[in-house]
Chain A
């Protein structure tokens, strides 16, 4: 499992960063960056919540082998 961000969709709501700061942050322009794209054991629920919190669907959880 890997987190992917579609940066041009990002509107800097920041919901995801508040929920999942271990994987996500906003850069100097305020756009989302994935600071760590791997999902360790026990992190899945938080990662999913962070992704679901994006009002513009800029985040995706994809299969690592894609």
Chain B
């Protein structure tokens, strides 16, 4: 058990490592057998596993905190979560973005209980310790600015610079998407994302390809579901297998751009989810997408002519721009950045974060994006489409929540937990990828290669492997070697067959 750091509070601030590690009786890797495609239900139901996730995964992974347009001006803040820790995404008077633990250093009270707002000072409601976001008043935004009765209570000797709000040491703004990591030894964000960045680009860039020219709609949809957070991550990671059955009813309604009789994502005819060009992409470091960057489908055909005008033009501009850059046009997801940021970069264009509450409860947050420069009628059309698609009242999301809820109910029984889940789809049929340390499924709908890679990476984090080990394990992708061996063997067998044929 690591000793809590109670002494010196010199930087880096101690709270990051001030929690006790759990007593390890279970190893995550013993519950995940990716070679045989078998994963224990305990991964999703066990409180012990949940504790291990909170200690070993969430404080070391890059987590999505919010969008920079939510803190556009100096003094703006947005309340978010990183795992089970509440944080404040802030912008100081110099325009810099910070991520601070939303917990007073005196008794832990939330210093800010609003969802968002503008202030240059957070004064704790409990005993009024005051923290400033104004760098001209304190050394670094988030530092302790003052405490009541400073002289009488502390004889004027409280070491204010060392009792500021805990600052997240690693924050990365990727084209407006703000990610943070509590572990100062963690790999850099761009290394962590790797070639998965193509999907983040499509999420963050405008529909005409202008880099980072998107904003989020005001307000984040937030709701709770009675299931494990990984059901959510896995669903968007590359589970296209559930679509036809789970979403049959919403397809019948016709909530998409094309209206009645058209798909909810708005693919034009013959470009639907069953296209064989839509193989999934799985990364060694756990990220996954339901498609690949070569899977190029134009924007939907809308019922409204003015919508077609906007999106046809956007597609032309994007195609020209990306072709000039030699960049592929595909990669719109749905996808999941390991561990809990899921998104789709097309129709809808939305970010989902599955905040863990307990082994069997998750708080889901959804952000919706639009082009900054889109005309108001386009934004309004998208807003209404997003709401009928996603969120607690969204028709597609309701379908998914039913599954996760009832799967949890039916999996947490003592007997049920004795029987693992099946992840054998497409075992040994993976395909090579042009992307770094990635492979593809060999089919658009079937293939659980993405989930197998996700849970392998998950176990490596949850078992608390060091960053050296984590980096080392993901330095190469052994699945690529397996594919090459398989293809070589098949080629050799074919050559041998040919030879025996010609001998005859």
Collect the chain A residues with CB atoms within 8 Å of residue B145's CB: 15, 53, 55
B128 and A11 within 8 A (CB): yes
Does A33 touch B at the CB level, under 8 Å?
Answer: no
Does A52 touch B at the CB level, under 8 Å?
Answer: yes
Q: Mark A4-37, 1 if CB is under 8 A from B, else 0.
A: 0000000111110000000000100010000000
The number of chain A residues with a CB under 8 A from chain B is 11
B128 and A55 within 8 A (CB): yes
Q: With A11-B128, A13-B130, A55-B128 as given contacts, are A30 and B149 in contact (CB-CB < 8 Å)?
A: yes
Q: Is the interface of A mostly helix, strand, loop or mixed?
A: loop
Collect the chain A residues with CB atoms within 8 Å of residue B135's CB: none
CA–CA, A13 and B146, complex, Å: 6
Does B156 touch A at the CB level, under 8 Å?
Answer: yes
Q: Mark B125-148, 1 if CB is under 8 A from A, else 0.
A: 000101000000100000001111
Q: With A52-B137, A55-B123, A55-B130 as given contacts, are A15 and B146 in contact (CB-CB < 8 Å)?
A: yes
Collect the chain B residues with CB atoms within 8 Å of residue A12's CB: 148-152
- A14's partner among B121, B137, B156 (CB-CB below 8 A) is B156
Q: Mark A35-66, 1 if CB is under 8 A from B, else 0.
A: 00000000000000000110110000000000
Collect the chain B residues with CB atoms within 8 Å of residue A14's CB: 146, 150-151, 156
B151 and A26 within 8 A (CB): yes
A53 and B130 within 8 A (CB): no
CA–CA, A26 and B152, complex, Å: 10
A55 and B146 within 8 A (CB): yes
Collect the chain B residues with CB atoms within 8 Å of residue A11's CB: 128, 148-149
A53 and B137 within 8 A (CB): yes
CA–CA, A53 and B150, complex, Å: 13
CA–CA, A65 and B151, complex, Å: 34
Q: Mark B149-166, 1 if CB is under 8 A from A, else 0.
A: 111100010000000000
Collect the chain B residues with CB atoms within 8 Å of residue A55's CB: 121, 123, 128, 130, 145-146
CA–CA, A56 and B156, complex, Å: 18
Collect the chain B residues with CB atoms within 8 Å of residue A56's CB: 123, 128
Q: Which residue of A lies closest to B134 (CB)?
A: A52
Q: Which residue of A lies closest to B128 (CB)?
A: A11
CA–CA, A37 and B409, complex, Å: 70
Q: Which residue of B lies closest to A19 (CB)?
A: B137
Say how far B174's CB is from chain A's closest CB, in angstroms.
Answer: 35
Collect the chain A residues with CB atoms within 8 Å of residue B156's CB: 14
Collect the chain A residues with CB atoms within 8 Å of residue B149's CB: 11-13, 30
Q: Which residue of B lies closest to A15 (CB)?
A: B146
- B147's partner among A13, A52, A53 (CB-CB below 8 A) is A13
Say how far B126's CB is from chain A's closest CB, in angstroms.
Answer: 13
Q: Which residue of A lies closest to B156 (CB)?
A: A14
Collect the chain A residues with CB atoms within 8 Å of residue B150's CB: 12-15
B148 and A13 within 8 A (CB): yes
Q: Which residue of A lies closest to B131 (CB)?
A: A55
What residues of chain A have their CB less than 8 Å away from a CB belonging to chain B? 11-15, 26, 30, 52-53, 55-56
7 additional A-B residue pairs with CB within 8 Å, beyond A12-B148, A26-B151, A55-B128: A12-B151, A13-B147, A13-B149, A14-B146, A15-B146, A15-B150, A30-B151
20 A–B pairs (Cβ distance < 8 Å), ordered by A: A11-B149, A12-B148, A12-B150, A12-B151, A13-B147, A13-B148, A13-B149, A13-B150, A14-B146, A14-B150, A15-B145, A15-B150, A30-B151, A30-B152, A52-B137, A53-B137, A55-B123, A55-B145, A55-B146, A56-B123
Top-8 shortest CB links A-B: A13-B146, A55-B130, A11-B148, A14-B150, A12-B149, A15-B146, A14-B151, A55-B146
